[in-house]
Structure 1
Amino acid sequence: MRKWIRVFCPLIMIFILASYGFKIATKEVVVPEGLKVNEPTEVLFPKNRTNAKKVTVVTMPPFLGTSFVGFKEALAFKESQGDYFTTNTLGYLGKYQFGIGTLQLMGVYNATRFLNDPALQEEVFQTNIARNKWILRKDIPKFVGKRINGVEVTESGILAAAHLSGAGNVKKYLRTYGRFDVSDAYGTNIRKYIRKFSGFDVSFIEAQKNPKL
């Protein structure tokens, strides 16, 4: 008798457990009506969270190396964060922040068309660099490699500073070894641009006398 009990008890237990498992697996789960979401609900985070910290978004310029493309994009980021369609508080236009007077020198007389034409803005920038390179053609080889006000002078730094303040002012800065310096309306001076935009390869641009579009 004991032998039969030892044989059948495990079988009975297995049968009982298997039957419960089958019932649990097949049982339909019913969600109570009060727990159902039938309409959009208001998101409470982080608007109503009292200890939420302010998130600061930091925009960085694209990293394109020391090529000419890297030079113009870094300069554009400093001028306008690369926005073709912006006008600053002083009326300077576009990605590279050109004034009306400079545009006219390039042969552009329609400010609205310029502001809405990215391809034209790129062409004007390159033309202006060629013009500044011509004006500074004697000063670039003379001063590149020297240190003025603690900053090593490079060709790209000179051309960036010319974009900021005009080639004539950069010429005076170099020839007075930094005693003559000018700042724009926002406090940025020639020395800062020479330092910030040093070391780019701008040999791609050839100097041109009075280039026009």
Structure 2
Amino acid sequence: MWAASEYSDYLAALSAKESSNNPNSMNQYGFLGRYQMGESALIDAGYYQKDMTPDTNDWQGVWTGKNGIDSKADFLANAAGQTQAISDYNGKQWATIQTLGLDNYLGQTVGGILMTESGLLAGAHLVGVGGLKKYLQSNGMVVPSDANNTAITQYIAAFSGYNMAAITGNTTSASNGGQAGSGGASGNVPNGNQNPISGSSQPQQSPSAAFASGAGGVSYQDIKTAIHSIIAILLFLWTAFVAWGQFKLWSDNGISIMGMQTNIFRASAVMLLLIFIFMA
């Protein structure tokens, strides 16, 4: 268990997890270095030019020369350059996390795990910001994994609570809700042994934001889905009732079979139209 501390400790823990601290590492999927970065990550970080296969890691494209790295061999031989590259990538990821509003989940518990800045970044490192978004917006019901079947929850939990001010610029500890004093963030180093639920306080949210994100246990999306389901069931029941009534009328010789079919078709069309309107 890593004791949560500063950003440098986060990088050390990530390097140990990803490559056993081996800057020359390259796995079977083509991920490189201490932090196992792929083409798409290095494109975002500004070290590699986007090619036709950014998700394949075939490394057939062109390096940008950023920080003196002009090739895969240069990258693998430059441990300090790899650390700078992951920091550049973390900065890019955090900007995307903020753009998508995923930082609103900080201090909340999703899938039984307290969300912290370092946890969000570690989850995004494993499965991308898109995978992180799916996990958070499903309230932990969707759990993306990487090619090695490592679940995002493992990284969010394992890398929770590090001081990420070097990347995020925030001096508030997301793991204990404390504010940095005039002396900076030094008084807010999270305790890695702290109970992540009972030992933390939640950051203040407006009632509308808390409701929309499901901080109270049931989110707006959950209620919206339930209402849609009820409406769909009622429309199906209404259509079935109309069909039964038309069939009974036809069996009593009160309507032709063509008229029965026409009326049932109309009812079905109305049902589908209403479902489309309500579900949009």
Same fold (TM over 0.5): yes
Moved over 4 A (4+): none
Q: Residue in 1 aligned with 2:102?
A: 139
Q: Residue in 1 aligned with 2:14?
A: 75
- Rounded to whole Å, the distance in 2 between the matches of 1:106 and 1:204 is 16
Q: 1:126 aligns with which of 75, 83, 87?
A: 87
Q: 2:78 aligns with which of 97, 111, 117?
A: 117
Deviations 1:105-162 (A, max 9, x none): 322222221111112101111001101100111211x111111111111111000111
> 2:155 aligns to what SS in structure 1?
helix
Q: 2:147 aligns with which of 185, 190, 193?
A: 185
Q: Residue in 2 aligned with 1:96?
A: 35
Q: Residue in 2 aligned with 1:14?
A: none
Indicate the structure with greater helix content: 2
> 1:171 aligns to what SS in structure 2?
helix
Q: Residue in 2 aligned with 1:107?
A: 46
Kindly state the Cα deviation for residue 206 of structure 1 after the two structures are TM-superposed. Answer: 3.8
Q: How many residues align?
A: 145
Q: 2:120 aligns with which of 158, 163, 185?
A: 158
Q: Residue in 2 aligned with 1:7?
A: none
Gaps of 5+ in 2: 48-62, 64-70, 170-280
- Rounded to whole Å, the distance in 1 between the matches of 2:85 and 2:166 is 15
Q: 2:161 aligns with which of 177, 199, 207?
A: 199
Q: Residue in 2 aligned with 1:11?
A: none
Label 1:115 to 1:136 Cα distance change in 2 as closer, same or farther (>3 A): same
Cα RMSD after superposing both structures: 1.7
Kindly state the Cα deviation for residue 186 of structure 1 after the two structures are TM-superposed. Answer: 1.6
Using the aligned pairs only, state the percent identity. Answer: 32
- Rounded to whole Å, the distance in 1 between the matches of 2:148 and 2:45 is 25
Deviations 1:71-128 (A, max 9, x none): 1110111100111111111111000000122212322222221111112101111001
Which structure has more RCO (C-alpha within 8 Å, separation ≥ 6)? 1
- Rounded to whole Å, the distance in 2 between the matches of 1:206 and 1:158 is 11
Label 1:65 to 1:150 Cα distance change in 2 as closer, same or farther (>3 A): closer
Kindly state the Cα deviation for residue 65 of structure 1 after the two structures are TM-superposed. Answer: 4.8
**Does 1:171 pair with 2:110?**
no
Largest Rg, 1 or 2: 1
> 2:34 aligns to what SS in structure 1?
coil
TM-score, normalising length from structure 2? 0.49
> 1:180 aligns to what SS in structure 2?
coil
Give the conservation status (yes or no) of the 8 Å contact 2:143–2:153: yes
**Does 1:149 pair with 2:111?**
yes
Give the conservation status (yes or no) of the 8 Å contact 2:118–2:159: yes
